[in-house]
Amino acid sequence: MEIKKTSLLQRWDPRCKLVALGALILAFAMVNDLRLVPLILVVPLLLMVVSGLTPAFILRRLRYPSLLLLFLLIGLPLAVGEEILLTVGPLLIRREGLEAAVLIGGRFLGIFLSALILLNTSPLTANIKAMRALGLPWILTDMALLVLRYLRVIGHDYRQMRIAMRIRGFKGNRLRLRYLQIVAWLTGSLLVRSYERSDWIYRAMRLRGYGHNDGPVSDFKAVRLDFMLLGVSLFWSLLIVSL
């Protein structure tokens, strides 16, 4: 729904995409010079253009920022530094703090948006399988795929239980021991049910041959275009690092 038919990024081999993303993230995290921030921000902008993702989708994901990040972005210009740039009423905006805030904000936007765009242009399962193909231990990837599959199921269980509680008049808005006990019982039921469900899942997997061989070899196929895109990303990362 979010994506137009097939954008360049959607066709990009997930393995190459992940390697490129890793390189970009490390390069961005390394930036400590204010003048490099535009070089960072140009990457998500470019990605956004070729991704086919709608700006509305991306903005929606930026809606819940980290509290700590907000605290730093607002607090730093007010609290840190000696040189005063601007006086707004009783508040003093300081140069060093502002620079640090811009740097943090720039790195955040660069990493967050690039990851958001690159990971959302392939299905999450494809990304996990690509990680497996890149050498992530199979225990981790098997777990991740199962978590992904059952997250919705357990989330549905949870919402149904909340509905049943509301119908019987439960309003959880005050901190009392009884409330905590109810939350604990609710969480505990969720855990016990998941635990029991897992036995059946394992049996069903076993019946269909889980564990008898190492599973299918990955069916990813990288062509020249995939490597070219990877090359461009690596070049850009190196450029940022070397400047």
Partner 1 sequence: MTALLEINDLCFAYPDTPGGPDRGILTGLTLQIQAGERVGLIGPNGAGKTTLFLVTCGILPPSRGQIRFRGRELTKNSFIPEIALVLQKPDDQLFCPSVWEDVAFGPQNLGLSAQDVASRVNEALQSVGAAALAQRPIHHLSEGEKRIVAIAGALAMHPALVIYDEPSTGLDIRSRRRLISLLQQNRKQKTSLIASHDLELILEVCDRVLLLGQGRIVADGQPAVIMADEPLMQAHGQEKPHSLIPHRNQHHSPRRQRNK
Partner 2 sequence: MHIADGILSLPVVAGGFAASFTITWYCLKRIKDAGDPRERIPRAALLTAAFFVASLIHVPLPPASVHLVLNGLIGILLGAFAFPAILVGLFFQAVMFGHGGLSTLGVNSLILGIPALLVGWLFHLNRRPDESFPRTIGRGLLAGSGAVFGATMLFIGALLVGFQIEHQQEITATAIITILAVAYLPLIVLEGVITALLVGFLQRVKPTILQWK
Task: Please give the residue ranges that form the binding site for partner 1 (CB under 8 A).
Answer: 157, 160-161, 163-171, 178, 182, 185-186, 189, 192-193
Least distance (Å) from partner 1 to the CB of residue 195?
11
Q: Smallest distance, Å, CB 157 to partner 2?
A: 8
Taking the least distance from each CB to partner 1, the nearer of 96 and 157 is 157
Provide the 10 A C-beta neighbour count for residue 146: 14
Q: Per DSSP, which regions of 80-206 are E strands? A: 84-88, 91-94
* Tokens standing for residue 207: 């019946």
Structure tokens at 51: 């991704």
Whole-angstrom Cα distance, residue 43 to residue 68? 25
Q: Are 16 and 85 in contact (CB under 8 A)?
A: no
Q: Which partner, partner 1, partner 2, none, binds residue 166 by CB below 5 to 8 Å per kind? A: partner 1
Judged by beta carbon, residue 34 or residue 191, the one nearer partner 1 is 191
* 169 or 209: CB nearest partner 1: 169
Answer with the entry of partner 1, partner 2, none that 68 interacts with (C-beta below 5 to 8 A by kind). Answer: partner 2
- The DSSP output letter for 49 is H
* DSSP characters over 24-52: HHHHHHH---GGGHHHHHHHHHHHHHHH-
Q: In terms of C-beta density within 10 A (0-12 exposed, 13-18 middle, 19 or more buried), how is residue 187 classed?
A: exposed
Tell me if 172 sits within 8 A of 183, measured CB to CB: yes
In angstroms, give the least distance from the CB of 118 to partner 1: 26
222 interface partner picked from partner 2, partner 1, none, CB below 5 to 8 A per type: none
Q: Which does 65 bind (CB under 5 to 8 A by kind): partner 1, partner 2, none?
A: partner 2
Supply the minimum distance, in Å, between the C-beta of residue 185 and partner 2. 6
Looking at the Cβ atoms of 87 and 195, the one nearer to partner 2 is: 195
8 Å CB contact between 104 and 37 = no
First-residue to last-residue Cα distance in the chain: 40
Q: Cβ of residue 171: shortest distance to partner 1, in angstroms?
A: 7
- Binding partner at 165 among partner 2, partner 1, none, C-beta below 5 to 8 Å by kind: partner 1
